[in-house]
Structure 1
Amino acid sequence: MKQFHHIGLPAENQETPIDGEFWVEGGKLWLTNPDHHPQRVEWLRYAPGHDRDPRFRDHPHICYEVDDIHTAVEGKTIVRPIGDMGDPPFALAAFTGEDGILVEYIQVTGKRRWFDAPLEG
């Protein structure tokens, strides 16, 4: 399974808070939940002085949810290796470089589907 999950867009104004954003300590950024946007946009706003790779901070990415992240990224150019997503973790995530853009793959493993989502089951 490979299904579109969201498009991640850096906020135009990194200093202005966005409605519905929340802080993600592990990433040192604020982001929004794409489940709450009609076009499934995840807005990203980085903390001042953030040392994130400019490819993430300055460019959009597309994200797919997959059922096997290892198979999904096999043979691709890895930009950020597979790692836990969230605290506590709810997914595995990795970024690849494909056709000149960043592509994120996530495999949901926990009992919630996003950073701010309620626990399921």
Structure 2
Amino acid sequence: MHVGVPIKNKQPNEIYLKNLKVYVTDPEDHELKFEYLRYEKDTPLPEIMQNNPHVAYKVDSIEEMAKGAKIIVEPFDADKNIKIAFIVKDGVVFELMEEKE
């Protein structure tokens, strides 16, 4: 779906996610589907996410795909249509995106 890239510089058209204390861009606005993330110092998101890129995949089941991986952000509703979670598998940060029925 996209590649999330942590950055330090303000980006055009950032959206602020108050509950996560992070600024994000829309990956649909980037030709390579990059999502830039600029974290506030007191973000509740794990340090591994703040310092490493992540790869986002649409999955049928977060529960199934997370088996054998370390869950670093428990599944939550991103909006009315999508539930997401973040995991680390083989040292790589993944965002799992599941459509809600």
Highest CA radius of gyration, 1 or 2? 1
Q: SS at 2:12's partner residue?
A: coil
1:73/1:35 Cα in 2 relative to 1: closer, same or farther (>3 Å)? Answer: same
CA RMSD of aligned residues (A): 1.8
Note the C-alpha offset of 1:80. Answer: 1.8
The 5 A counterparts of 1:88-107 are 89-107=80-98
2:77 to 75, 84, 109: 84
Note the C-alpha offset of 1:50. Answer: 3.2
Could you state the TM-score of these two structures normalised by the residue count of structure 2? 0.85
Find the aligned partners of 1:30 and 1:69 in 2 and give their Cα distance: 24
Note the C-alpha offset of 1:51. Answer: 4.7
Find the aligned partners of 1:23 and 1:30 in 2 and give their Cα distance: 4
1:83-118 deviation digits (Å, cap 9, x = unpaired)? 2224xx4311111111211111011338xxxxxxxx
1:20-47 deviation digits (Å, cap 9, x = unpaired)? 2111122111101111111110000112
Find the aligned partners of 1:105 and 1:51 in 2 and give their Cα distance: 18
Q: What stretches of structure 1 of length at least 5 have no aligned partner? A: 111-121
Q: Which residue of 1 aligns with 2:49?
A: 56
Find the aligned partners of 2:65 and 2:22 in 1 and give their Cα distance: 26
Q: After TM superposition, where is structure 1 displaced by more than 6 Å over at least 4 residues in a row?
A: none
Q: What stretches of structure 2 of length at least 5 have no aligned partner? A: none
Aligned residues: 101
1:76/1:107 Cα in 2 relative to 1: closer, same or farther (>3 Å)? Answer: same
Residue identity (%): 26
Could you state the TM-score of these two structures normalised by the residue count of structure 1? 0.73
Q: Which residue of 1 aligns with 2:2?
A: 6
Q: Which residue of 2 aligns with 1:47?
A: 40
